Amino acid sequence: MEQIGNMKLYSLDEVKDELIGKVGTPERDEHERKVEEALLAYRIKSMPYRKPCQCQASDRE
């Protein structure tokens, strides 16, 4: 925590430790897993879909 005037400034890690739990606890591990899973799903959904060209289609046969 950093004091700026009469305000307290907390880092994201400090907030996560307080709300979710310290690193290594089951609750924190589950949260981190869900975040990674959501990011991976977002990356997959945002990838452009391209139909295979004729040369790629003939390679499969």
What mean pLDDT do residues 41-54 have?
86
Residue 61 pLDDT = 55
Look at residue 4 and tell me whether its pLDDT is greater than 60: yes
**CB within 8 Å of 8: residues ≥ 6 apart:** 1, 2
How many domains, the chain? 1
In the prediction, which pLDDT does 45 show? Answer: 92
Which amino acid is it at 9?
L
Tokens found for residue 3 = 């004091």
pLDDT over 90 percentage in the chain: 69
Give the structural domain span for 52.
2-60
Q: CB of 32 within 8 A of CB of 40? A: no
Put simply, whether the predicted model's pTM sits higher than 0.85 gets the answer no
> For residue 29, is pLDDT > 80?
yes
Give the pLDDT band (50/70/90) at residue 57.
low
